[in-house]
């Protein structure tokens, strides 16, 4: 028999404040995936530990960032390059050229809305971007940055994120 002091740990996650039927369903899928009729318990949530973390500390310059890593950079938006291929009606990725004092970088967006991107990244503006840095055809690229914010909104960017 379990001590009564531990009863709250074995209650369903629905007993937690702010957990309704929708969140409960998502937590059931996450914490009890092999048992479709099982209900996730509070203790299951406590034992669901992160397996890694993403460090989004600001990298001082583009040239200091390493390919394949998550980089957080302070950049200036210099140019928008709408997608388009050689064939009529073909759509390529939308590219936004950004730079800092050390190098240039392309932000690449697939199936992007140009109006939204021009509002998010106006030419001449300074932005804080964060995402995985890649190299393609000799260019440094950041496809679909995870975070884009104005420099004064840097406080809203998570410095460390956990992965599950």
121: domain CATH number is 2.40.50.140
* This model's pTM is above 0.75: no
Residues 117 and 38 in one domain: no
Give the separation between CA 156 and CA 81, rounded to whole angstroms.
28
Alpha helices in 41-136 (DSSP H): 42-46, 114-120
Q: In which band, very low, low, confident or very high, does the pLDDT at 101 lie, cut at 50, 70 and 90?
A: very high
Residues 26 and 61 in one domain: no
Q: What is the tens place of the pLDDT at every residue in 5-48?
A: 998 899 999 999 999 999 998 888 888 777 767 788 899 888 88
Residues 73 and 150 in one domain: yes
Q: Give the β-pairing of 160-163 and 52-55.
A: antiparallel
pLDDT (average), residues 142-159: 83
- Let me know how many helices (H) and strands (E) the chain has, helices first: 3, 9
pLDDT (average), residues 66-77: 93
| pLDDT at position 75 over 90 | yes
Structure confidence at residue 153 (pLDDT): 66
Q: What is the tens place of the pLDDT at every residue in 107-139?
A: 999 988 999 999 999 999 999 999 999 999 989
Please report, in angstroms and rounded to a whole number, the separation of the first and last CA atoms in the chain. Answer: 32
Q: What is the tens place of the pLDDT at every residue in 54-64?
A: 888 887 899 99
* CB 89 within 8 Å of CB 124: no
Residues 40 and 69 in one domain: no
Q: What's the DSSP call for residue 136? A: E
Residues 111 and 148 in one domain: yes
Give the separation between CA 148 and CA 74, rounded to whole angstroms.
10
Burial of 47 (0-12, 13-18, 19+ CB in 10 A): exposed
Residues 35 and 74 in one domain: no
The number of folded domains in the chain is 2
Residues 39 and 117 in one domain: no
Domain that holds residue 112: 54-163
Residues 142 and 110 in one domain: yes
């Amino acid at each position: 028999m379990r001590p009564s002091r531990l009863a709250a740990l074995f209650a369903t996650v629905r007993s937690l404040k702010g957990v309704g039927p929708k969140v409960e369903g998502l937590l059931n899928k996450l914490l009890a995936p092999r048992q479709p009729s099982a209900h996730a318990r509070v203790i299951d949530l406590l034992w669901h530990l992160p397996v890694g973390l993403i460090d989004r500390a600001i990298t001082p310059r583009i040239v200091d960032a390493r390919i394949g890593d998550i980089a957080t950079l302070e950049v200036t938006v210099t140019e928008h390059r709408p997608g388009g291929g050689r064939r009529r009606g073909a759509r390529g990725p939308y590219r936004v050229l950004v730079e800092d004092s050390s190098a240039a970088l392309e932000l690449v967006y697939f199936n992007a809305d140009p109006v939204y991107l021009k509002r998010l990244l106006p030419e001449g503006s300074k932005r804080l971007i964060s995402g995985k840095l890649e190299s393609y055809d000799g260019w440094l690229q950041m496809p679909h940055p995870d975070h884009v914010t104005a420099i004064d909104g840097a406080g809203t960017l998570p410095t460390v994120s956990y992965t599950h």
